[in-house]
A and B are shown apart, each in its own frame.
Chain A
Amino acid sequence: MEATTSTQVRRVSRSSTRATTLSVIAQVWPWLFLLVLVTYFSITGTGFFTVRNFSNILVTSTLVMLMATGQTYVIITGGIDLSIGYTVGLASVVSAELMRTLGNNGVDPTLAIAAGVLAGLGAVLIPGLANGILIAKVKVPPFIATLGMWGIVRGAAFLLTTGKNVVGDLPADVRAVLRQVGNGSLLYRIEDMGLVWFRQPDDLTREQLRSLQRLLPYPVLITAVVVLVFAFVLARTKFGRRTYAIGGSKEAALRAGINVERHLIVIYLLSALTAGIAGILHVFRFTAGSPLVGEPVLLDSVAAVVIGGTDLFGGEGRISGTVVGALIIAVLQTGLVMLNIDALWQFIVIGCTIIIAVLVNRLREYFEKQQQEHQEEYA
């Protein structure tokens, strides 16, 4: 009797150790994989291990990063938001269109841009709210509701551009202000000048331009602030706790008196909001809007979330994981191109990464269940 008990104690503690180890692995492996990728590309690719390239990679990653941040919230509640691709496009089109109209009518560029930003962010709240109401109140499955919204937002964005792919031709003064942010950096390093804050000096020699390094690009800073706020809210606040609770058991959340419907509506609004910020950022970077900005990377945003360890069935996940996921995708895209490897390989590598991420998660769940069973035998 004594002997069996101690065996059982050992089994409980062994399965407990395994479950703990696996959850550590689930969090750590994407970082290791990112490190391996960066190391590999740095050794084999000339020009990869440079400040300029890393700065470019970060700027490139902002689009997926922002979309994936809102998507993480959605997926933790057990949902999915398929509409955010065109939501990015909608925000960019609305804001670019308004900036152009106001700019052409002699409105101060800064004012025109501010109005455009607000209009773009306001516009995306409509599909976000519609998603939320359909899912929370009408109980339409998230996949279906946001697929419907995918079509509606797509159509709406193209109607606004009267079918054109690009909203360009912004007045020159508006474009200049946009570029200061979109291509600007809080801190530059320039040959013979050292560190320069806030904005790029106007009269640079060709050598100085070539040596110019953007150490803290504004798009990256803006994205970082958004991501940090979302990470904090999810990890530390009551709102975050309830987001996990709803993903773990909607029934439990309801019986605990949580207003699940209102919470879910806010979640889909937030998802639309991060997509909207991504769309606005696109206008700043390229001084143009397009309905097609976000859609090609919609699935990349889901991939970033999943690679980061968030469970597609809800209840598990962190923003830090999503950040790594987005970085892995951006590094792969840039690295493969620099190595002259067919860019199509990136899809295969990302695909494999997603599957590994899901397998690690499944394995963790398996050991958790095993611990539960062993604990029951021991009781």
Chain B
Amino acid sequence: MPSATAEPILRVEGVSKFFGGLTALNKVDLEVYPGEVVALLGDNGAGKSTLIKCVSGVYRADEGRILFNGHDITDASPSKVREMGIETIYQDLALAENLDVGANVFLGKEKEKRLLGLIPVTDDEYMRREAAGVLDRLDIHIPSLKQKLVRLSGGQRQAVALARALYWDARLIIMDEPTAALGVPEQRKVLALVKTLREQGIPVIIISHTMQDVMEVADRMVVLRRGRKVAEVPRSEATVDLLVKHIVGGFDVA
């Protein structure tokens, strides 16, 4: 649990986003503290993705401010946001499945060595070793690191995406529906990954539809409905019933 004195690493203050006449986000506040897993819940169209895209720089908030580590990132571009340490892992993972783990972790930042002291070539050994190291940190063991990603399971690939983020010093990881499209055993593995990240002090925002996932890993659950934040529930008080009521708006009727 965040202590009262700790500074939030991410602070979203009164952010709104409009698409024409539609209010996708309406003065939403959100805080994420170091080493905390925050779940973002809500029905389709509740504004989860819009909020995430505002944070990651894909959308620009029309109102409000977003602070990361004290820096204002409200108007930062996606690449600037990534540079500052916020890594968003989308469902499609953005991996080159025809390449191996090392190549993926170092994609776009390939490590080179000089052949005969002259010709720059990729240092595949180094990249594989480093990738293995960071996968170790995630407690993930891939039998052969020379295998192309296409031959790995969904959970293993998720781990590779996380490994890349970690290796390049991500300080906040946003995961968009990480367990969708995975089988049950694979879902367990991904949740274990999220827990490992928390143990290492890296905060995670996780978007999910699956209540069990959320109950298992999140320290705090933030529920959005029609663009508004309608509830913020610590794990100790959360029940599936309560969360579902918030999501579908069961309290409005009462």
Q: Interface residues, chain A, CB within 8 Å of chain B?
A: 16, 19, 236-238, 240-242, 244-245, 247-249, 251-253, 255-258, 315-316, 365, 368-369, 371-372, 375-379
Interface pair B94/A238, CB less than 8 Å apart: no
Provide the bound-state CA to CA distance between A371 and B98, in Å.
14
| Residues of chain B from 92 to 117 with CB closer than 8 A to chain A in the complex | 92, 94-99, 103-104, 107-110, 112, 115
Give the residue of B99, B112, B115, B143 whose beta carbon is less than 8 angstroms from that of A245. B99
Provide the bound-state CA to CA distance between A245 and B148, in Å.
12
Give the residue of B99, B143, B155, B188 whose beta carbon is less than 8 angstroms from that of A244. B99
Provide the bound-state CA to CA distance between A252 and B188, in Å.
26
Question: With a CB–CB cut-off of 8 A, which chain B residues contact A375?
Answer: 151-153, 156
Provide the bound-state CA to CA distance between A372 and B154, in Å.
8
Interface pair A247/B98, CB less than 8 Å apart: yes
Question: With a CB–CB cut-off of 8 A, which chain B residues contact A378?
Answer: 153, 185
Interface pair A236/B122, CB less than 8 Å apart: yes
Give the residue of A237, A251, A371 whose beta carbon is less than 8 angstroms from that of B94. A251
Closest 6 interchain pairs by CB? A256-B108, A379-B185, A248-B98, A248-B96, A315-B98, A375-B153
Interface pair A257/B183, CB less than 8 Å apart: no
Interface pair A248/B97, CB less than 8 Å apart: yes
Report A372 CB to chain B, min CB distance, Å: 6
Report B91 CB to chain A, min CB distance, Å: 12
Question: With a CB–CB cut-off of 8 A, which chain B residues contact A257?
Answer: 79, 108-109
Q: Given contacts A236-B115, A315-B98, could you give 9 more A-B pairs where the C-beta distance is less than 8 Å?
A: A241-B110, A241-B122, A249-B96, A251-B92, A316-B98, A365-B150, A375-B151, A379-B183, A379-B185
Interface pair A379/B153, CB less than 8 Å apart: yes
Interface pair B103/A245, CB less than 8 Å apart: yes
Give the residue of A252, A315, A369 whose beta carbon is less than 8 angstroms from that of B107. A252
User: With A16-B151, A372-B150 in contact, do A379 and B107 touch (Cβ < 8 Å)?
Assistant: no
Question: With a CB–CB cut-off of 8 A, which chain B residues contact A255?
Answer: 94
Interface pair A245/B120, CB less than 8 Å apart: no
Question: With a CB–CB cut-off of 8 A, which chain B residues contact A256?
Answer: 94, 107-109
Provide the bound-state CA to CA distance between A130 and B182, in Å.
43
User: With A245-B107, A256-B107, A368-B148 in contact, do A376 and B99 touch (Cβ < 8 Å)?
Assistant: no
User: With A241-B110, A241-B122 in contact, do A369 and B188 touch (Cβ < 8 Å)?
Assistant: no
Interface pair A252/B148, CB less than 8 Å apart: no
Report A320 CB to chain B, min CB distance, Å: 17
Provide the bound-state CA to CA distance between A241 and B115, in Å.
16
Report B89 CB to chain A, min CB distance, Å: 10
Interface pair B185/A376, CB less than 8 Å apart: yes
Report A160 CB to chain B, min CB distance, Å: 38
Report A313 CB to chain B, min CB distance, Å: 10
Give the residue of B95, B121, B186 whose beta carbon is less than 8 angstroms from that of A249. B95
Answer yes or no: B189 CB below 8 A from chain A CBs: yes
Provide the bound-state CA to CA distance between A182 and B222, in Å.
75
Interface pair B97/A249, CB less than 8 Å apart: yes
User: With A237-B121, A241-B103 in contact, do A376 and B148 touch (Cβ < 8 Å)?
Assistant: no
Question: With a CB–CB cut-off of 8 A, which chain A residues contact B110?
Answer: 238, 241-242
Per-residue 0/1 for B166-206: is the Cβ within 8 Å of any A Cβ (1 yes, 0 no)?
Answer: 00000000000000001101101100000000000000000
Give the residue of A237, A248, A316, A369 whose beta carbon is less than 8 angstroms from that of B122. A237
Residue of B nearest to A8 (CB): B185
Question: With a CB–CB cut-off of 8 A, which chain A residues contact B156?
Answer: 375
Question: With a CB–CB cut-off of 8 A, which chain A residues contact B186?
Answer: 376, 379
Question: With a CB–CB cut-off of 8 A, which chain B residues contact A376?
Answer: 153-155, 182-183, 185-186
Question: With a CB–CB cut-off of 8 A, which chain A residues contact B109?
Answer: 256-257
Question: With a CB–CB cut-off of 8 A, which chain B residues contact A237?
Answer: 119-122
Question: With a CB–CB cut-off of 8 A, which chain B residues contact A377?
Answer: 183, 185
Report A243 CB to chain B, min CB distance, Å: 11
Interface pair A372/B151, CB less than 8 Å apart: yes
Question: With a CB–CB cut-off of 8 A, which chain A residues contact B94?
Answer: 249, 251-252, 255-256
Residue of A nearest to B79 (CB): A257
Interface pair A379/B96, CB less than 8 Å apart: no
Question: With a CB–CB cut-off of 8 A, which chain A residues contact B96?
Answer: 244-245, 248-249, 252-253, 315
Provide the bound-state CA to CA distance between A237 and B112, in Å.
8
Question: With a CB–CB cut-off of 8 A, which chain A residues contact B188?
Answer: 379
Residue of B nearest to A250 (CB): B96
Per-residue 0/1 for B122-154: is the Cβ within 8 Å of any A Cβ (1 yes, 0 no)?
Answer: 100000000000000000000100001011111
Question: With a CB–CB cut-off of 8 A, which chain A residues contact B104?
Answer: 252
Question: With a CB–CB cut-off of 8 A, which chain A residues contact B120?
Answer: 237-238
Question: With a CB–CB cut-off of 8 A, which chain A residues contact B103?
Answer: 241, 245
Residue of A nearest to B185 (CB): A379
Report B246 CB to chain A, min CB distance, Å: 32
